[in-house]
Chains A and B, each alone.
Chain A
């Protein structure tokens, strides 16, 4: 069934263009860095962008940082929000549901495939950036912004862990977009809705007046993977992040399944 669903989604133009965009963005960033980059700007704490040209690994880490806040959110939202809503729009949802397959199974398959595409999208960015960055800047140790460097093996494993963490963060987006997808026939409503929620969460996160309430926002710990760039790694923030994002993944998905099982399909 997963194979069937994969094929349903694979040939769509938007799938192809999304992946093209995910490769194009690191290219654009690299061009920007190469034409504009230089010694770290004074008057500012050194940040990841200042060492982005130090090595391929640095470049990959920087593009991961740059894309994980919004671009990846939009792409992941696209895959997850489209999963059910587009079938509603095409009118094919009712035909799928008249097949002798349990609705739960159907929805589960759609979720799995949407997630696979989302994970592929997230992983593609650091991989492509790593390849491009190694060609442009060389394969060498990771320069951390504060001081010193991480060896190549360490750097590579930290990049892998950081990617894994970003995947976990994007799971929240998948869950929200998927929930909206089961509630509407308009794919763009689902996609946009999830993206807007993420943006709202990020904005609220900057309102310091909210104090500790902010740690319950789904995007609060999204940058915790930057702790991987210090030696030894202090994993408390990442651990807190994973725990705190878990309900944001489980609850929307549970709602999506519960709603889908009982709802009247009028599309």
Chain B
């Protein structure tokens, strides 16, 4: 029933659905409500708190309640809420008790106590459970996360402690124990506490709950927390052992209000319990505000965290622990900074210090919100002599990082039977500059004897050569020390700090780079040397063997087509041999096998007595031209020749390039790119290319293709000269008349076989036909009726008969014989041999 009454949350709803038009993205719908909550033990009646809901584009969606910092209203976290809404979450902001100026029904500040503010939060979660736009895990159990900074962070932790419905939290720069935060070592952190008190109060303690006022006044006056104070502070502290919601803890390294230790304790407890936790230590904190870049980063981290644990998306939330390294850059680790501290050697002399009357003048280590000024402390004597004792370690040999919490112990004896001491650990450079890492200080209240102080967790790089100085002073401006004058004797100091070696970020890359370059260099040098190594002289064959000997050559392609079917051919030195055959006879295939471009299926090719393989040495003596020119179009003619020759030779010596250029006859065009040439020019250049080096064997496949008659004549003459000079030429051509005019020998191929070969004259002489020029064709035809007439000439097929008899027959018949030609055209032989044509 009370629950039902308490559920009259929506008694005074003022709902104004409005569109939040933020300049940075699509408009977000928001709606404002004022929620009425039971006042609890600190407020009579009810408390009315304003809330704002920011809706994402798609609903239902998981929700996130964003809580503001101490003394702030909900508008201070509007930016975070908008970000989350754009990210796909229902974001709810609220102004907590006691933070509404001028609103008496706004409640009183109770320091995030479980019976007040935490209950308010739980009621908000109940609201969400009844909101259809929020994704539900079950009846009354919405998918909800909590997020907040400082005071708002603590309420998130406390919310997760007391409400199992919470599914993920992101507490930023907040406490683990309010007692150790506001009264560490039982010494009241007066300065900071007063600043917060001043924020919230205008007139005395009216904005705070009565019990809080009582504690504050007691602490401010005495500086020593009593049992009731401690209970109140502990009551407002979360219990990580009861938190099952995955937690992203963000803490500031410039924060003496809630130092790094607070987050570390929470993280360790969560980890021990098995709750997923991630710890981030960032630059900034209560002593130095986050810049907008860091705030954006925190928002993004929270977004990803909630993506994973509320949205249940498979995103990576990064390493377990990252921290801002004081020397620059970030460190990351898969473990929490709980390294066992290493003991450091200290100069071990006893010291005496005094506590001044009234506690002033006081050492300064840091001031709330002013940034750490510990850097000035050593130099300007902010530890007053007589009030502080120090011991130093020897210089560090290697650069180390202090990561985590250390320990300091000593023996104390006090003239008054009680001592309040402040321990600081300084990083001292070789020239005396001292830095107070993270501005941290460890207060201690003791009655004397052996004391062990847990130093605050630090993240600080100590370069090699620096020393660590421990300073124990009797006062600190930020704290309330005893006003009575006293003398303390301190002895047996022992210091242990968690030192980790710095990952060698700088040298690593450079070394790898250098060694990589060296390896690459060695590789290149080795490759160069290997290619230039002394080779045995090339085997150029013998001069006794005929230039070309082909035996039983055959080539069958993969599809079964027999291109060459048993060819035998021998080309002797000085021959100008013409290779003839119709298309598809296998000429080009044979020539390609001769050049080593194609591997024969069987049989062999030998040049100058050496077998031919691709790249054989004996190919030095051959110049090849097959199936047209193959020139690089983007280079000039001259460059083509040069590159061709130097691909197998070191220089142009012995290339006879000038003679080759003369044969090509291109003139100045040889310095223009080949793509500007006509076909004929390219052909001539390619033939010239084959003639580079004046090879002993020239193999030319259809060299006159595309050339005009004068050029053909020229080529013919060149080839004949070459053959006359004792070198060998092998030409294949379709122009039978050409071959007839030019060649000394002929080889005829048909359907992959060699059907005839021999000297041209022989082939022609060994003919069965006679051409007879007569003065009377009609009469001649009557004498030899089977004879044909062609171009006004009588063509007589002898069929084994003799030529003389034919002439005699004609003369006897009175036909005048003007000429007898027994040489017939090669064409006829060709057609006869190959069985093609008429």
Contacts and interface: CB of A to CB of B under 8 A. Distances in A.
A160 B517 CA distance: 11
Nearest to B26: A43
B324 A148 contact: yes
Nearest to A96: B647
A164 B538 CA distance: 41
Interface stretch (A193-201, A225-233, A243-251): A225-233
B616 interface: yes
B303 interface: yes
B330 A100 contact: no
Contacts of B531: 1-2, 105
Contact of B322 (A2, A147, A157): A147
A264 B599 contact: yes
Interface string B615-641: 111111010101111111111000100
A148 B330 contact: yes
Q: Which of A102, A147, A157, A261 has the most CB of B within 10 A?
A: A147
B328 A146 contact: no
Contacts of B328: 141, 148-151
A160 B513 contact: yes
A147 B330 contact: yes
B830 interface: no
Given A90-B632, A91-B629, A147-B282, A97 B614 contact: yes
A106 B531 CA distance: 11
B506 A154 contact: yes
A150 B324 CA distance: 11
B669 interface: no
A225 B598 CA distance: 46
B87 interface: yes
Interface in A150-182: 150-151, 153-154, 156-158, 160-161, 164
B300 A144 contact: no
Contacts of B631: 90-92
A99 B330 contact: no
Given A98-B624, A100-B616, A230-B330, A157 B503 contact: no
Interface stretch (A8-16, A24-32, A55-63, A126-134): A8-16
Contacts of B503: 231-233
Interface string A250-262: 0000000000011
Contacts of B538: 100
A42 B25 contact: yes
A42 B299 contact: yes
B599 A262 contact: yes
A43 B87 contact: yes
A94 B25 contact: no
A66 to B, nearest CB: 21
B596 interface: yes
B648 A99 contact: yes
B304 interface: yes
B196 to A, nearest CB: 28
B81 to A, nearest CB: 12
Contact of B304 (A4, A45, A102, A153): A45
A232 B501 CA distance: 11
A43 B643 contact: no
Contacts of B322: 146-147
Given A42-B86, A146-B322, A230-B332, A154 B634 contact: no
A94 B300 contact: no
Contacts of B300: 40, 44-46
Interface in B768-785: none
Contact of A94 (B282, B318, B630): B630
The main secondary structure of chain B at its interface with chain A is mixed
Interface in A213-251: 230-233
A43 B25 contact: yes
B294 to A, nearest CB: 8
B534 to A, nearest CB: 15
A151 B509 CA distance: 12
A135 interface: no
Interface residues of B, number: 72
Contacts of A151: 328-329, 505-506
B646 interface: yes
Contacts of B452: none
Given A1-B531, A92-B631, A100-B618, A157 B510 contact: yes
A133 to B, nearest CB: 19
A231 B332 contact: yes
Contacts of B595: 94, 97-98
Nearest to A102: B615
Contacts of B622: 98
A103 B297 contact: no
Q: Which of A2, A43, A45 has the most CB of B within 10 A?
A: A43
Contacts of B646: 4
Q: Which of A101, A103, A160, A232 has the most CB of B within 10 A?
A: A232
Contacts of A99: 615, 619, 644, 647-648
Interface residues of A, number: 57
A204 interface: no
Contacts of A42: 24-25, 82-83, 86-87, 296, 299
A147 to B, nearest CB: 5
A93 interface: yes
B735 to A, nearest CB: 22
Nearest to A46: B300
Contacts of B304: 45
A91 B614 CA distance: 17
Interface string B296-326: 1101100110000000000100110010110
Nearest to B539: A100
Contacts of A39: 292, 296
B113 to A, nearest CB: 34
Interface in B498-543: 503, 505-506, 508-510, 512-513, 516, 527, 531, 538
A167 B282 CA distance: 35
B642 to A, nearest CB: 9
A266 B324 CA distance: 65
A24 B633 CA distance: 27
Nearest to A141: B328
A111 B158 CA distance: 66
Q: Which of B280, B292, B300 has the most CB of A within 10 A?
A: B300
B324 A147 contact: yes
Given A94-B597, A147-B280, A233 B614 contact: no
Given A46-B297, A233-B508, A92 B626 contact: no
A161 B514 CA distance: 11
Nearest to B614: A103
A234 to B, nearest CB: 8
Nearest to A92: B630
A157 B508 contact: yes
A46 B298 CA distance: 11
Q: Which of A150, A151, A153, A157 has the most CB of B within 10 A?
A: A157
A90 B292 CA distance: 61
23 contacts: A8-B635, A11-B634, A45-B315, A90-B630, A91-B628, A100-B618, A103-B614, A105-B615, A141-B328, A144-B329, A146-B318, A146-B330, A147-B324, A147-B330, A148-B324, A148-B329, A149-B330, A153-B506, A157-B512, A230-B330, A230-B332, A233-B503, A233-B505
The 7 closest A-B pairs by CB, nearest first: A157-B509, A91-B630, A232-B503, A148-B330, A92-B630, A265-B597, A43-B86
Interface of A: 1-2, 4, 7-8, 11-13, 39-40, 42-46, 90-103, 105-106, 112, 141, 144, 146-151, 153-154, 156-158, 160-161, 164, 230-233, 261-262, 264-266
Interface of B: 24-25, 82-83, 86-88, 280, 282-283, 292, 296-297, 299-300, 303-304, 315, 318-319, 322, 324-325, 328-332, 503, 505-506, 508-510, 512-513, 516, 527, 531, 538, 592, 595-599, 614-620, 622, 624, 626-635, 639, 643-644, 646-648, 689
Given A43-B88, A94-B626, A148-B325, 9 more contacts: A7-B643, A46-B296, A93-B630, A97-B614, A101-B648, A112-B527, A147-B297, A160-B509, A233-B503
